[in-house]
Structure 1
Amino acid sequence: MAKKDIRKELVKTGRRIVRARLVIAKGGNISAREGRFVYIKGKGLPLDSSDIKSYVRIDLRSGSISGGTPSSEKYMHAVCYKKRSDIRAVLHLHPIFSTAVASSKMRLGAVSYELLASLGSEICRAAYRPAGSKELAAEISALMGKHNAILLPNHGLLVVGKDLDSAFERARACERACQTLIFSRLLGLYKFLPKKEARRIISLYPGPHI
Structure 2
Amino acid sequence: MKKRKSSVDTVDPKTLQVFVAACHKVAEYGLIRCSSGNLSWRIGNNRALLSASRSWLGELDASQVAICELNSEQCINGKTPTVETRFHLGILKQRPEMNVVLHFQSPYATAIACGDPQQYNYNVIIEVPVYVGEPAVIDYCMPGTEPLAQKVIEAMRDHDMAILRNHGLVTCGRDFNDAIQKAVFFELACQILLTGNKIQPLGPDAIPPLRAAGKG
TM-score after normalising by structure 1: 0.88
From 3, 9, 14, the equivalent of 2:23 is 14
Superposition CA RMSD, Å: 1.8
Structure 1 unmatched ranges of 5 or more: none
Rounded to whole Å, the distance in 1 between the matches of 2:67 and 2:125 is 37
Q: Select the residue among 58, 65, 68 that pairs with 1:58.
A: 68
CA displacement at 1:104 relative to structure 2: 1.0
SS at match of 1:91: strand
Q: Deviations over 1:162-185 (max 9, x none)?
A: 01111111111111011011123x
- Aligned pairs (5 A) from 1:1-210: 5-35=14-44, 36-67=46-77, 68-106=79-117, 107-109=119-121, 110-119=123-132, 121-184=133-196, 187=197, 189-206=198-215
Preserved contact between residue 73 and residue 89 of structure 2 (Cα < 8 Å): no
Deviation per CA, 1:12-31: give whole Å up to 9, x if none: 11111222221111221101
Preserved CA contact (<8 Å) 2:23 2:57: yes
Q: Name which of structure 1's ranges 153-162 and 137-146 shifts more when overlaid on structure 2.
A: 137-146
Q: Identity over aligned residues, as a percent?
A: 24
- Match of 1:153, as an amino acid? R
Task: Mark the structure with the bigger radius of gyration.
Answer: 2
Q: Aligned equivalents of 2:30 and 2:125: distance in 1?
A: 22
* Structure 1 consecutive aligned stretches of length 4 or more whose deviation exceeds 6 Å: none
**Aligned-pair CA distance for 1:4:** 8.3
SS at match of 2:83: coil
Instruction: Tell me how far apart the structure 2 counterparts of residues 198 and 131 of structure 1 sit (CA, whole Å).
Output: 34
* Residue deviations 1:81-136 (CA, integer Å, cap 9, x gap): 122111100110111101011121141322221222222x2223222221111111
Take 2:153 and 2:129, find their aligned partners in 1: how far apart are those partners?
21
Kindly indicate whether the alpha-carbon contact (under 8 Å) linking 1:108 and 1:123 is maintained by their aligned counterparts in 2.
no
Alpha-carbon deviation of 1:70?
0.6
- Which residue of the partner structure matches residue 3 of structure 2? none
Q: Corresponding residue for 2:9?
A: none
Helix, strand or coil for the counterpart of 1:139? Answer: helix
TM-score by length of structure 2 reads 0.86
Verify the 8 A CA contact 1:149 1:157 in the aligned structure 2.
Answer: yes
The answer to which of 138-147 and 67-76 deviates more is 138-147
Indicate conservation of the 8 Å contact 1:9/1:164, yes or no: no
- 2:215 is paired with a residue whose SS is coil
Q: Secondary structure at the match of 2:158?
A: coil
